[in-house]
Amino acid sequence: MSSEPMPSTSRRNVLVTGASRGIGRAVAHAFAAAGDRVAIHHRASAELAGTLRGELPGDGHAVVQADLTDPEAVRAMVDTAAAELGGLDVLVNNAGVFLAHPVTATSYEQWQQLWRHTLDLNLVAAANATWCAVRHMNAGARIINVSSRGAFRGEPDSPAYGASKAGLNALSQSLAVALAPHGIAVAAVAPGFVETDMTNEHLKPPRGDEIRAQSPFGRVARPDEIAEAVLWLASPAAEWASGTIIDLNGASYLR
């Protein structure tokens, strides 16, 4: 880490995890449209990631691969992204998984497996990526974590998901304090339902109508709406928002 701030007008180097689809894809588009270089992380979606790289405006973008549940793969992926981009100014921890495992309808073996996998990917992987990314960051850098409304209201059928996102919020706020002396701001966004591949099945009738009715707007979010909030939190103007968790749920859950 360096105490020298990056120039506010410079082209930033941005790593987005889980960027081949959904919110991550929209986030990659938003940063590229702002003139930044983007490293598109994927686990097993090389074709989608390559297509996205070809779609992004500007040049210098990269595709990086890793199973984020493997700590050494995370380290190698972050180091590769920094090398290919020429540094690292922004990390967006977006990759995650949402798996159903109701406590009364899941075997003990499945319960253990799903808790371990969800926490490893949604929380521990973000912590590891952050540790690795900080080694490449200077003052003015940003870390944005994609949390969830479920961290606050709970997820009865997917309790590990809700717990992992609550942990991600706590991680964000802990590191906001720890990294402020280095000039690095950390914040999070907490969306409700968003139109993505991960939520596609949930948004089909009849449950989809019930989900959309949770918001007084009568709809769920678009990925680009989440991306715009991430883009702002990563901006030089948002340093004072460090430690913030922005609710993006269309007033479907108020706290």
Active site residues: 161
The rounded distance, in Å, linking the Cα atoms of 94 and 86 is: 22
The two counts, helices (H) then strands (E), for the chain are 9, 7
Q: Which amino acid is at 29?
A: H
Q: Sheet containing 142-146: give its strands across.
A: 62-65, 37-42, 13-16, 90-93, 142-146, 185-191, 245-248
Are the C-beta atoms of 189 and 224 separated by less than 8 Å? Answer: no
Q: What is the DSSP letter of 104?
A: T
Q: What is the DSSP string of 148-197?
A: -THHHH--TT-HHHHHHHHHHHHHHHHHHHHHGGGT-EEEEEEE--BSST
